[in-house]
Amino acid sequence: MPRPILATIHPAALQHNLQRCRSAAPDAKVWAVVKANAYGHGIERVYESLRSADGFALLDLDEAQRVRDLGWRGPILLLEGVFEPRDLELCSRLGLWHTVHCDAQIDMLAAHKTTVPHRVFLKMNSGMNRLGFTPQQYRSAWSRLNALAQVDEISLMTHFSDADGERGIAHQMQLFASVTGDLPGERSLSNSAATLRHTRAANAAPDEQAVACDWIRPGIVLYGSAPDHPLHTSADWELRPGMTLASKLIATQAIDTGASVGYGSTFVADRPMHIGVVACGYADGYPRVAPTGTPVLVGGVRSRVVGRVSMDMITVDLTPLARAGVAAGIGSEVTLWGQASNGAVLGIDEVAHAAGTLGYELMCALALRVPVQVGG
Ligand SMILES: *Cc1c(COP(=O)(O)O)cnc(C)c1O
C-alpha cells in the first residue's frame, strides 16, 4: 500500500470560486491566474474547471506552452512579460499577450522581427515599487510602444499593494486614473482582494473608492483561500476549498503526564492523553513552523497539532475525539486542510495563520512526493 497521504483537487469548488469572481465583477473579463503551476494545484488539473475564464495569466513560458498544449486558443497573458529577446518568438508563435514593464522590454520588441503584431499590457508602477513605469514615465512608454509596428493593441495595467489591508487602493487608483485618463485601451487592475473588496457593484452609484476595469486578475480566490484572512475567512467570502490535503494515522501513543512528544520535547503532556501520528510532514509541504495548537481534523473532528512537525510525520492530540465519542486508531482519516469526508472544512488559511504564513504559500509548497487526484 502506498503511504496514505493524498491531495485532492475539487473541480466543482474551482468552478464555484470562479463564479464568485464573476458575480463580484459582473462587467469584467476574468484572467484566471494560474502561475506557479496553478498555485500548486497543477495547471492540467485545474484547466477543465477554469476554462470558462476569458484568459489565463501566468509568468513561466513553459506554463504558457502547457496551456496551449491543453487546447486553449484564447488569451494568455505573461504577467512579467518577456525575460530575453527570444521569448518574443514564442509570444509570436503561441499568440501570447505580454506585460511590458520596463524600457528593456520595449527595446526587445523594437528589435523583434514578426509578422504578427503583439497585444501588450503596459504596466504602471503606481506605488508597489516592483514592476512598471513610474507615472512620470508612463505616457512616454505608451507613445514609444504605440509607434512600433510590432505592437497591436496596448492595454493598461497596474497592481495593488494593499487591496487586502487597511490602506486600500484609492491612492494607487487615483494616480493610475490621473495618468491614464484619456489613453485608449482596456484596463486591468484588480487582484483577488481588490475584486472581492473594492469592485464596483453592477448598477451601483459611481464610487471613487471602487475599481471599474475591463479585466480582473483573480488568483488566490479561485483556489478557495480568502485574500484578506483573518479579517475575512473563506466562508465569509463564500469560497470553497480547491484542494484537500489528507492523510491517515499510522500509529497512536498513550502517554502519561510529564511525557514529551517529538523532537526537542517541545510538547509536554499535563495529563495522560492519546496522541495520533500522521503520515504528513514538512517534506510533503506541511509547514515545519506550525506550532502546537495548529488546527487539524481527525475523523472530521477538529483537533490540534502537538509537538514539532518532522520531515515525514506530525503528531496530533486525540483528546477531542474521545470527547466527541469518535473512535480513532491506525487508518483514521486526517485532514490537514480542505474538506473531510464528513463534510467538515478546515480552511487552509487557518493552518497558514497558525504557522505565520498565508494560504498562498502552503498551496504552492505542496511537495512533489504527494500524489494528487482530481475529483471528490
Ligand atoms: C499573482 C498576481 C495576481 C493574482 O493575485 P492574487 O492575490 O492571487 O489574486 C494578479 N496580478 C498579478 C500581476 C499577479 O502577479
Average pLDDT, the chain: 96
> Does any domain span residue 232?
no
Same domain? 94 vs 175: yes
Task: Compute CA 204 distance to the chain's CA centroid, rounded to the nearest angstrom.
Answer: 29
Ligand 1 centroid–CA 109 distance in Å is: 24
Question: Residues 47, 263, 282, 360: which is the catalytic one?
Answer: 263
Q: Hey, what amino acid is at 118?
A: H
Q: To the nearest whole percent, how much of the chain has pLDDT over 70? A: 97
Q: Which residue segment(s) compose the domain that 281 sits in?
A: 243-374
Q: How is residue 6 written as a grid cell?
A: 493524498
What is the model's pTM?
0.96
> Does any domain span residue 173?
yes
The atom number, within ligand 1, closest to the CA of 59 reads: 15
In the structure, what pLDDT confidence band is assigned to residue 209 with cuts at 50, 70 and 90?
Answer: low
Residue 295 CB coordination number (10 Å): 19
Same domain? 256 vs 347: yes
Question: Residues 29, 35, 123, 138: which is the catalytic one?
Answer: 35
Ligand 1 centroid–CA 301 distance in Å is: 34
The atom number, within ligand 1, closest to the CA of 163 reads: 7
Which of the 8 DSSP states describes residue 371?
-
Q: Which of 175, 193, 223 is the last residue of a domain?
A: 223
In the structure, what pLDDT confidence band is assigned to residue 211 with cuts at 50, 70 and 90?
Answer: confident
Q: How far is CA 111 from CA 80, 93, 149, in A?
A: 19, 16, 11
Q: Hey, what amino acid is at 58?
A: L
Which range, of 15-19, 46-50, 122-126, 194-198, averages the lowest pLDDT? Answer: 194-198
Domain of 314, CATH number, reads 2.40.37.10
* Catalytic residue flag (residue 35): yes
* Catalytic residue flag (residue 263): yes
Does ligand 1 have an atom closer than 6 angstroms to the CB of 49? no
Q: To the nearest whole percent, how much of the chain has pLDDT over 90? A: 95
Ligand 1 centroid–CA 252 distance in Å is: 42
Sort residue 301 into left (φ over 0), alpha (ψ -120 to 50) or beta: beta
For residues 248-260, give the mean pLDDT.
Answer: 98
DSSP string, 42-97: -HHHHHHHHTTSSEEEES-HHHHHHHHHTT--S-EEETT--SSTTHHHHHHHHT-E
d(CA 367, CA 348) in angstroms, rounded, equals 16
Closest-CA residue to 365 (of 278, 287, 279): 287
For residues 16-27, give the mean pLDDT.
Answer: 96
Does ligand 1 have an atom closer than 6 angstroms to the CB of 108? no
Query: For residue 201, what pLDDT is reported?
Result: 57
The atom number, within ligand 1, closest to the CA of 33 reads: 4
> Does any domain span residue 234?
no
d(CA 221, CA 227) in angstroms, rounded, equals 7
Ligand 1 centroid–CA 217 distance in Å is: 6
> Does any domain span residue 236?
no
In the structure, what pLDDT confidence band is assigned to residue 61 with cuts at 50, 70 and 90?
Answer: very high
Angle at 361 between CA 357 and CA 362, to 5 degrees: 90
Q: How far is CA 160 from CA 3, 138, 150, 165, in A?
A: 42, 17, 29, 10
Q: Is the pLDDT of residue 67 over 70?
A: yes
Same domain? 296 vs 201: no
In the structure, what pLDDT confidence band is assigned to residue 1 with cuts at 50, 70 and 90?
Answer: confident
In the chain, count of helices (H) and strands (E)?
Answer: 12, 19
For residues 303-319, give the mean pLDDT.
Answer: 98
Q: How is residue 24 written as a grid cell?
A: 463580484
Does ligand 1 have an atom closer than 6 angstroms to the CB of 218? yes
Name the more confident of 203 and 137.
137
Q: Tens digits of per-residue pLDDT, 130-142?
A: 999 999 999 999 9
Same domain? 90 vs 171: yes
Q: Is the pLDDT of residue 286 over 60?
A: yes
Query: For residue 206, what pLDDT is reported?
Result: 54
Which of the 8 DSSP states describes residue 117?
P
Closest-CA residue to 374 (of 69, 153, 43): 43
> Does any domain span residue 5?
no
Give the chain's domain count.
2
d(CA 50, CA 296) in angstroms, rounded, equals 29
For residues 60-69, give the mean pLDDT.
Answer: 98
